[in-house]
Structure 1
Amino acid sequence: MTASTQPLPKDLFPYIGKEGEDLPRFDPQKPLPPKVAPNPRLVANMGLHTIPAKPVPPLALLGIAGVTDIIQQMPTPNIMPANLTRCRPDKFSDAFFVDRRLNGFNPGKLNRTIGQEWQYVVRYDCRKYAVDPGGILPATIEARFVLRGHSLYAHSIQYVLREGNNISNAPITNSPGDADWEWAKRLFRSAEFLFQETQAHLARTHLNVEQYAMAYYRNVKNNKIAELLEPHFEGLLNINKLGANIIFGDEGVIPQSSTISTTDVEKLLKEEVSRLNYHTWHPRMQALQDFVSNNHYDRAAIAVWEIVEQYVGKFFQDYESAIRSDWAEIEGMSQDLVGHSILKRELGTLKIHNINDLKKLCIYVIYHSSFLHSWTNYKQYEDGGDIEYAALGLWDEKHPSFDPAVAAKRNIGQVLITWTLSSVRYNPIMENGSSLLKDLLWQRRDEIQPGLPLEMLMMSIHI
């Protein structure tokens, strides 16, 4: 094939669905271009963490795809490796409940309140989503926390239960010491798990970053910005293509293990991506307004954001003229971003107006690809590896549709996928990052490591 007949990047990286309506994603029915196919090092890394151990598969059959074939062989989640909660005798304590809202796998959800007995609240609204027969998912649920000095304490949990999909029940409030307090915490942890997987993990990192990766791959060929961005896109399109079936498709773990349908999972994903804009987002937007002594997430998030600002700023300082010399590629990237964006109109645009916008975009993408994904992904097994502690779906055992065998399969599906996703440690920054990025992270490790050890901080969303 001559150079003139080589396929264009836009043909190699086709979008799926309707422009401006569907998630701006690579069409999972199309083959991955060689440029983004998994390399042998990634294949070997994933193969090491497939259960049971298997020979390294062909590139087309990457490790995680085998997980769903193993579910029937696993009789109970308890034979899996121990997780954080199974090793914590205090896992049902109120103090641990508070700590996980601060530092667990679904961070940044505490909101300040005014004029209440409590100062912070985490709320999940599930009213838009239908529940499968026999499933237990509150219509709304909120956990409230009291600030005393520099510590948070559990105040109460209020929730509205459904009867089927009827949401007419009155709110129920439970406080520490109430007979149903432990049930209220379990109900909250289950709803939180659903939002962790759909919004914090899949939508905000995987699918949000994919819209930038698609616009990049379809347009950027010669621009110097490739040296900065491309290492942080490695593996993303491959894992998202696999995830279309394994994680959130019709047979995916989330619809299969939770109480909501594939359609509602996709609705949750789109709702989250539609409100994300690199122009306006900063981790301080979701940081606690008060100092809390064991709030490790906020300190780590802000430190890493500032590090990425320095890292990107130095790159632009060194190579701004080179970036400008191929600006037509950035304009093409901007056009694809805007044309396929599902961002709500009132929240602005993803357009790259100038070089400062491009700098903001790079900071946002690198932060989400590295720190935020590492936090939400590698903490999954800490809670999700223990069905007794946190189940993606709760089920009424007295309901006529309840089947213990189906429930067991759902549970092992959750444990297997969270273990696999949390165990594949490919491309750590402290091994494969640039010397500048590694040095900046090392200098501020005391702010980052109480929340996330540096060895768990990866370059890209590869799993």
Structure 2
Amino acid sequence: MSASVTRRGGADDRRWDGRARGMGTGMMFAGLRRWMGALGGKGRESGSNEVLDAEELSRWYSGLALEERLAISRELAPRVRAVRPAREPSTLPAVAVGRLVFEQDGPQGPIPMHHIKVELWDRDFGTPDDFLGEGFTDSDGCFSIRYDPADAGVNDLPDLEVRFFEPQHSFRPDGRVVEAWCRIGSEKGPDDHGGLHYDFGTLRLPYWEYDPTTPLARLLVTEEGTPPTAYAPGRALAMLKAVAPIELVKRRHLLQGRLGQAPSLDRIQADYPEAMTVRMERESPGSTRTDAFFGERLLNGMFSTLMDGDPEAPGDPEAFRLYFPWNAYEQDGVHCLPDVDVRLRLVEGRLLPVRIILGMREPGATAPGSPVTRRSYTPADGEAWEAAKRMARVSATLETELGNHLGQCHFNVEQYAIAAHRNLRRSPLRWLLMPHLREVVLINHSANGFLVGPTGYITRASALTERSVETRLLHLMGSYDWKGFAPAPPICESHRYARAAGLFWRLVGEHVDAFFAEHGAALEAQWSEVRRFSDDLVGHSAPAFVCRYLRATVPGRAAPWFVRSERMDLDAKVAATHAKAVSAVTRTDAPQPGEMEALKQLCRYVIYFATFRHAWANNLQWDDAGEVLYACLGLRWGKAGALSTEADHDVAPPPEEATEMLWISWMLSKTSYGFLLANEEADVHPRFVECLRAHAAEFSALGMDIRTVSSRINI
């Protein structure tokens, strides 16, 4: 593993800062005056050769940023004082020791923070601090830094402080890595320490902590706190550019509602940019409500998902089923959300719905498992069939938002992001995964109140209550595992989503294989970090969840209708006691046979969901959820029942929810920053970027502009 290292806040950049201050204030100011004079009298009017006096220079210098002070120190170094010969750390007379652990304990007590860079400094007031030495924590979180107290300056006893740094990286165009260090915390020690030994003791650092209040692997962010990371600067501009045109539209609608003058749904729709289905209806009325369009969007739209075979026709390769079991969850009694069982069939290369079975509760029923009446609809039922298709579209929209989008992409990837940030520092695995794990915890933190929670949009706009949203997400997260995953093959030639997924999956595999071939030895050498990464993943993942229906029909049985390639191993999870959803990669500090291939599979899985899968579910939201009457998160029990026509606005979302829905769909689809091919932060290996660019035409033929796929989840 070769890497070109750029230090951020490292010893080489700071050593002269301390020695310049050690020569005394007078000598330093004299040197500064000489230097300032040589620069033409910085601080005076342009063109003047006057120099600052000591008092003016002191005020000017104290107002500089740290990096500017360091630059002055480096400039003055060769002019004012000769550099003392460097000594080996083992010969330095003093030592500072300590142990760094996470803020929260694990089952066995404190959790050590391994391989964290630790710098020892002498604090000074009003002038730059003095760098004394550096080291790294070991596997148990312990550090030991030898230093020379004289580096604090003449007649100055050091005021000790340790500072902690995590690594960051970027790639050069030739694929070489450039490392940098980012400060993550510090701890003050004693003032005027005259001894030759100091023990900082056990230091707790609140760093990428798990939220103990949720069964999901979520990042802990206190009410007044901030996450331990930040968005790239360009992302804020992208958000402003996307949202500014529609923000005033939404605010006007909400204000009109508060004044008792709520606009109609038609007016709300017209005030937003024209969505795909609205445009299609304008050009060809009725085109988006056909059976063929319904099937096409289930294959290739935002709703694209796994297609099981029809269990009632297990030997028929052209019969398929989608099932959404909403009656298992508590509902609010205001919205109608039945169990939805859609049977579909391939007819001349097109996927068509042939039967829709709805398990309807009585209006107002809220308890999970409430009695239901099953009603079956076919194309022969006319308006009732159209209403059933609309109910199925709404059900698919809700399942997409909670499952394909929020659960399988956002929260699923977050659990890998937390474990990676807590454990990957020396392992080259960090260079492969971190570009795809940055920022996801930030957008998920926003979703805690914006989409879910007591006032979240999903809670307000759908039949699911806050508690049932949490339960559904727990069940979903309990069904996601990297082990054995592969995108299901297309069911027909027109299944563009599945074909694009297969192509992207293959290219990610080639990228991961090439990376492991290049860094395999270093990955093995730092396998202990992989083990800790794996331990955190498994230890904090949701309990494996297999519903009663699948337990009765799949584990231990042939079940040819059940597509296993995108699911966790149900047989293994059902057989294991207290099984976790995420499988372990390793349980040892050295790779065992097959574990390197398992790690490859995990990496491939994470990159796929953080990039392609999220892009497909997210970027098509304005196309498939940009028309209130076509698809929304919930239909209400209207005066004529929930299965009335689109003309009955008592069933549709009320004006406030309608304008919020359109605002959210536009914002999610149109806010884009951090593209894979743009590689704005240069943190993705250029080989992967060029590989995707080389296949852009193939993706375009399948309906995907590869330039719109982001390298990470940040919206």
**TM-score normalised per structure 1:** 0.88
Distance (whole Å) between structure 2 residues aligned to residue 68 and residue 83 of structure 1: 16
**Would you tell me which structure has more strand in proportion to its own residues?**
2
Partner of 2:602: helix, strand, or coil?
Answer: helix
Partner of 1:158: helix, strand, or coil?
Answer: strand
Residue 86, structure 1, aligned to residue 278, structure 2:
yes
Distance (whole Å) between structure 2 residues aligned to residue 299 and residue 405 of structure 1: 35
The equivalent residue for 2:585 is: 352
Partner of 2:242: helix, strand, or coil?
Answer: coil
Cα 1:9–1:112 change in 2 (3 A) is: farther
Cα 1:109–1:405 change in 2 (3 A) is: closer
Q: Compute the displacement of 1:190 (Å).
A: 0.7
Cα 1:39–1:428 change in 2 (3 A) is: closer
The equivalent residue for 2:686 is: 435
Partner of 2:678: helix, strand, or coil?
Answer: helix
Distance (whole Å) between structure 1 residues aligned to residue 669 and residue 235 of structure 2: 15
Amino acid at match of 1:264: S
The equivalent residue for 1:63 is: none
Amino acid at match of 2:600: K
Of 243-252 and 201-210, more deviation after overlay is shown by: 243-252
The equivalent residue for 2:321 is: 121
Deviations 1:36-90 (A, max 9, x none): 2112111111121224578xxxxxxxxxxx9997762585243111111111121
The equivalent residue for 1:146 is: 345
Given that 1:380 and 1:422 are in contact with CA atoms closer than 8 Å, whether structure 2 keeps it comes out as: yes
Distance (whole Å) between structure 1 residues aligned to residue 406 and residue 481 of structure 2: 16
The equivalent residue for 1:397 is: 638
The equivalent residue for 1:174 is: 378
Cα 1:323–1:9 change in 2 (3 A) is: farther
Distance (whole Å) between structure 2 residues aligned to residue 149 and residue 419 of structure 1: 35
Cα 1:51–1:392 change in 2 (3 A) is: farther
Q: Compute the displacement of 1:32 (Å).
A: 3.5
Of 82-91 and 45-54, more deviation after overlay is shown by: 45-54
Partner of 1:127: helix, strand, or coil?
Answer: helix
Residue 448, structure 1, aligned to residue 643, structure 2:
no
Q: Compute the displacement of 1:157 (Å).
A: 1.4
Distance (whole Å) between structure 2 residues aligned to residue 322 and residue 39 of structure 1: 29
Cα 1:33–1:221 change in 2 (3 A) is: farther
Distance (whole Å) between structure 1 residues aligned to residue 244 and residue 358 of structure 2: 38
Distance (whole Å) between structure 2 residues aligned to residue 171 and residue 399 of structure 1: 17
Distance (whole Å) between structure 2 residues aligned to residue 70 and residue 38 of structure 1: 29
Residue 17, structure 1, aligned to residue 215, structure 2:
no
Amino acid at match of 1:24: A
Which structure 2 residues correspond to residues 219-298 of structure 1 after superposition, within 5 A? Answer: 219-284=423-488, 287-288=489-490, 290=491, 292-298=492-498
Q: Compute the displacement of 1:446 (Å).
A: 4.4
Q: Compute the displacement of 1:98 (Å).
A: 1.0
Deviations 1:232-262 (A, max 9, x none): 1121111011111111122111111112111
Distance (whole Å) between structure 1 residues aligned to residue 522 and residue 513 of structure 2: 14
Q: Give the counterpart of 1:302 among 502, 505, 510.
A: 502
Amino acid at match of 2:531: E
Q: Compute the displacement of 1:177 (Å).
A: 5.5
Q: Give the counterpart of 1:41 among 219, 228, 234.
A: 234
Structure 1 unmatched runs, 5+ = 55-65
Given that 1:246 and 1:252 are in contact with CA atoms closer than 8 Å, whether structure 2 keeps it comes out as: yes
Distance (whole Å) between structure 1 residues aligned to residue 625 and residue 653 of structure 2: 18
**TM-score normalised per structure 2:** 0.58
Q: Compute the displacement of 1:434 (Å).
A: 3.6
Residue 457, structure 1, aligned to residue 709, structure 2:
yes
**Would you tell me which structure has more helix in proportion to its own residues?**
1
Distance (whole Å) between structure 1 residues aligned to residue 510 and residue 376 of structure 2: 48
Amino acid at match of 2:713: I
The equivalent residue for 1:314 is: 514
Cα 1:9–1:309 change in 2 (3 A) is: farther
Distance (whole Å) between structure 2 residues aligned to residue 445 and residue 197 of structure 1: 27
Given that 2:310 and 2:343 are in contact with CA atoms closer than 8 Å, whether structure 1 keeps it comes out as: no
Given that 1:9 and 1:219 are in contact with CA atoms closer than 8 Å, whether structure 2 keeps it comes out as: no
Cα 1:13–1:109 change in 2 (3 A) is: same
Partner of 2:278: helix, strand, or coil?
Answer: helix
Cα 1:33–1:248 change in 2 (3 A) is: closer
The equivalent residue for 1:62 is: none
Which structure 2 residues correspond to residues 24-63 of structure 1 after superposition, within 5 A? Answer: 24-29=217-222, 31-34=225-228, 36-52=229-245
The equivalent residue for 1:131 is: 331
Distance (whole Å) between structure 2 residues aligned to residue 122 and residue 70 of structure 1: 39
Give 1 or 2 for the bigger CA radius of gyration.
Answer: 2
Q: Compute the displacement of 1:115 (Å).
A: 5.0
Q: Compute the displacement of 1:447 (Å).
A: 4.0
The equivalent residue for 1:106 is: 303
Amino acid at match of 1:144: R
Of 354-363 and 311-320, more deviation after overlay is shown by: 354-363
Q: Compute the displacement of 1:373 (Å).
A: 0.4
Partner of 1:48: helix, strand, or coil?
Answer: helix
Q: How many residues align?
A: 443
Distance (whole Å) between structure 2 residues aligned to residue 420 and residue 234 of structure 1: 20
Distance (whole Å) between structure 2 residues aligned to residue 327 and residue 73 of structure 1: 58
Of 406-415 and 5-14, more deviation after overlay is shown by: 5-14
Deviations 1:143-179 (A, max 9, x none): 2222234332231212121113243313232325523
Distance (whole Å) between structure 2 residues aligned to residue 351 and residue 154 of structure 1: 40
Amino acid at match of 1:46: M
Q: CA RMSD in A?
A: 2.7
Given that 1:32 and 1:238 are in contact with CA atoms closer than 8 Å, whether structure 2 keeps it comes out as: no
Distance (whole Å) between structure 2 residues aligned to residue 428 and residue 70 of structure 1: 33
Q: Compute the displacement of 1:106 (Å).
A: 2.1
